[in-house]
Amino acid sequence: MLPKWLRRTPLAWRQLLKEKTRLLVALAGIGFADMLIFVQLGLLDSLFDSATKSHQNLQADLVLINPQFQTLFYVKNFPRERLLQTLSYDGVVSVRSLYVDTAQWRSPETLLNRGILVWGIDPANPAFNFPEVNPYLDQLKQLDRVLFDRASRPEYGPIADLLQQGPLTAQVNDQTVQTIGLFTLGASFGADGNIITSDSTFLKLFPQRQPNQINVGLIQLQPGVDPQAVQAQLQAGLPNDVNVLTPEEFAQIEINYWESGGIGFIFGLGVVVGFIVGIVIVYQILYSDVSDHLPEYATLKAMGYSDRYLLTVLMQEALLLAALGFIPGFLLSLGLYQITYMATLLPIAMKLERAAFVLLLTIIMCSVSGAIAMRKLQSADPADVF
């Protein structure tokens, strides 16, 4: 036997369905607002994601870095000696070093120079764990060999296509190098493109850099050792010209840096605008629904329906709109994410938490509108019906 509320005539549903055009306009409006919110949140997420993509691919349990570190794209160096000192601490198994700097890459097509991020790794002990890089490690040991990030912006030239015809000669910082393969990292705030070289090639490309001054130190710990304990010991034991960070802290500092630039605020504003647009649209729809049906609501009151029952109907209408409007908003956003990716090469994934968050916002949006429209409903006076 059906529960009582299911046996009742679904007034909210009937009322929405009766005015199909109005329903469609409402759903389009809510979908549009949701889409706005989805795109803002997605872009923000993806920007932060790409800004920390390199951080996430480092093989490290703890990271050693210059204390002034704010972003990996302009990071100061520190003495390699500090990294070697950590080896004498309990729990530390091995260390790796990484050089980072910006070079000028000349596009083989347009012959124009453009800044590109160069990562100098030790081929015998690579800092990154990119499976794509491993087959090239031996070849990288030779001087003037680089790997190119296929997810770099297209302004660097059609490198991936050209590589199919064999190794490609390129100009980096006015020196000739051989591009021998591809890997995937992606463009971000700080870098439009990336290349990986060996540490020796790196030092040759940047003659002013000292070999014993590195940018990032990566520390590998014994399995089962508490990273926080080792971190505390290292921080206490080492001179304070270096900072010891967990990979999470490392990535968080990077995110904070970009957030402080107002990016979070700008995208947040977009979300708020979407939210308000949604409220206005849903309110308009609910208000005109109530106004149009005011005598009918008054009749229901005259028949003995309570105010509470009618308010419930209005809230149901609001929630139905929320649920139905969310679906086109969600689907449209998936498409827009794809378009954004093709335009900017920023991969935006639909995340479950984001979808849940936007659904929640939509429900709040519709409830607020419903609550405002209720005031009109209460003015339905059964004494005016006769």
Partner 1 sequence: MQPPVISIHKLNHYFGEGTLRKQVLFNINLEIQAGEIVIMTGPSGSGKTTLLTLMGGLRSAQEGSLKILNQEMCGANKRQLIEIRRNVGYIFQAHNLMTFLTAKQNVRMSLELHDEMINQDLDAKAIAMLKAVGLGDRVDYYPEKLSGGQKQRVAIARALISYPKIVLADEPTAALDKKSGRDVVEIMQKLVKEQGSTILLVTHDNRILDIADRILYMEDGCLVDKQLV
Residues near partner 1 (CB under 8 A) are: 1, 4, 7-9, 11, 14-15, 17-19, 293, 295-296, 298-306, 382-383, 385-386
Q: Give the β-pairing of 216-221 and 243-245.
A: unpaired
Query: Are the C-beta atoms of residues 167 and 208 closer than 8 Å to each other?
Result: no
Which one, 166 or 304, has the nearer CB to partner 1? 304
How many CA within 13 A on the CB side of residue 380?
26
Tokens representing 183 are 């890997």
Which one, 305 or 341, has the nearer CB to partner 1? 305
Which one, 294 or 364, has the nearer CB to partner 1? 294
Query: Least distance from C-beta 317 to partner 1, angstroms?
Result: 11
Which one, 5 or 236, has the nearer CB to partner 1? 5
Q: Got the DSSP string for 297-347?
A: HHHHHHHT--HHHHHHHHHHHHHHHHHHHHHHHHHHHHHHHHHHHHHH---
Residue 194, beta-bridge partner list: 117
Query: Are the C-beta atoms of residues 380 and 297 closer than 8 Å to each other?
Result: yes
Report CA torsion sign: 372, 374, 375, 377: positive
Which one, 111 or 383, has the nearer CB to partner 1? 383
Which one, 3 or 131, has the nearer CB to partner 1? 3
Which one, 303 or 343, has the nearer CB to partner 1? 303
Q: Give the β-pairing of 213-214 and 78-79.
A: antiparallel
Query: Least distance from C-beta 35 to partner 1, angstroms?
Result: 29
Q: Residue 317 and residue 315: Cα distance in Å, rounded?
A: 5
Report CA torsion sign: 129, 132, 136, 140: negative
Query: Are the C-beta atoms of residues 41 and 245 closer than 8 Å to each other?
Result: no
Query: Least distance from C-beta 310 to partner 1, angstroms?
Result: 12
Distance of CA 115 to the CA centre of its chain: 23
Query: Least distance from C-beta 324 to partner 1, angstroms?
Result: 17
Which one, 4 or 223, has the nearer CB to partner 1? 4
How many CA within 13 A on the CB side of residue 195?
34
Tokens representing 188 are 């971000």
Q: Got the DSSP string for 115-180?
A: EEEEEEE-TTS-SB--TTTGGGHHHHTSTTEEEEETTS-GGG--HHHHHTTS-EEEEETTEEEEEE
Query: Least distance from C-beta 13 to partner 1, angstroms?
Result: 10
Query: Least distance from C-beta 7 to partner 1, angstroms?
Result: 5
Residue 102, beta-bridge partner list: 117
Query: Least distance from C-beta 376 to partner 1, angstroms?
Result: 17
Query: Least distance from C-beta 295 to partner 1, angstroms?
Result: 6
Which one, 160 or 311, has the nearer CB to partner 1? 311
Query: Least distance from C-beta 274 to partner 1, angstroms?
Result: 30
